[in-house]
Amino acid sequence: MTEPERDQGVASGDADEGTAVIEFIFASIVLLIPVIYLMLTLSQLQAASYATTSAAMSASRIAARDANPSEARAHAVAEMHFADFGLRDAPTSITYSCAGPCGQAGSLVTARVETKVSLPGFPLLFGSDRSPHITLRANHTDVVATGRQ
């Protein structure tokens, strides 16, 4: 190999120095940001799922043990469950249905809880009213143990 050919090989090798670091940083950013967002979304949905299920269980127990199941009390308990999971101000609706005569021992009371969970970051962009959300529903049935007076 002659002297000019060796110099030309060294010069072309110098042109690629440092690009691996830039490519690694770019690839890390492009891949890492969606993965982090996905993890945040899944953790928020899991927390909302647990809170919705807990609220449905509590609401059906309230209805099975109270002569007049107070919707305000059920909503207060549901808000407590959602606050425990870090989800404040989640819109929640609670409905009751009975299999058999409501209030008699042995009848079944079912509570249905529905909540809408906004995807992380979207309420800041679109506002809380128009942000995309996922609706979660949970049902729980409890037996009325004693007759009500």
Give the residue with greater pLDDT, 137 vs 72. 137
Write the pLDDT tens digit of every residue in 106-142.
888 899 999 998 888 877 777 777 788 899 999 999 9
Torsion of CA 31, 34, 36, 41, to 10 degrees: -160
| DSSP at 119 | P
Q: What's the rounded mean pLDDT across residues 100-111?
A: 82
Provide the pLDDT for residue 36. Answer: 92
Parallel, antiparallel, or unpaired: how do β-strands 133-143 and 92-99 relate? unpaired
- Please state, in angstroms and rounded to a whole number, the distance separating the CA atoms of residues 44 and 85: 9
* pLDDT class of 39 with cuts at 50, 70, 90: very high
